[in-house]
Amino acid sequence: MVAFGVALFTLIAATQSTECKTGQVLAVEHGRDYLLNVCGVGRVALRGVEPPLRSADIVRPPIGGGELLGGKNIGPDALAYLSTVVGQRMTLVYDGWRIGDLEGRRYAYVYLPDKTFLNAQMIQRGFGYADRQGSHPRRDEFIALEAAARRSKVGVWSS
């Protein structure tokens, strides 16, 4: 009975520690998109931001353009930056143009609690480039941010 009580307490403690608040970022990942696992929402990709792709990671070129960027892997730096938002509650704004995809991801503009626009920050820091596939309301703004990052030689454009 004591062992059962300890096991039950451990299960309850584990359950309580995994509770989250709606909008809270639980984890981040990097693949074909930068993804946030958001409590109450699921997987959310940063709208309008494309991670730089290394040629070794590509079987075929990205749809709608994009760049294949040699051997420079900024993934670890980008994930280190994104990991600073884990645990924070985000504001997600959907533009109505590209709501989701077949893999169950939703696309959103993400704002930090201090009103920092995360999508723009990723491009300004050189962790991604502006998505040129199709159209979205912030496309021109993101292309301008990418041009500024290139001129400043930050992130993937640092060398």
Select 21-157's CATH number: 2.40.50.90, 2.40.50.140, 1.10.132.20, 1.25.40.10. Answer: 2.40.50.90
- Quick one: average pLDDT of 118-132? 93
Percentage of residues of the chain with pLDDT beyond 70: 70
Residue 91's pLDDT band, with cuts at 50, 70 and 90, is very high
Phi-psi group of 40: left, alpha or beta (phi > 0 → left; psi -120 to 50 → alpha; rest → beta): left
**Per-domain boundaries in the chain:** 21-157
Provide the whole-model pTM: 0.77
Residue 131 backbone phi and psi in degrees, to 5: -70, 120
In the prediction, which pLDDT does 53 show?
Answer: 65
- Yes or no: say if 49 and 30 are a contact pair by the CB < 8 Å rule: no
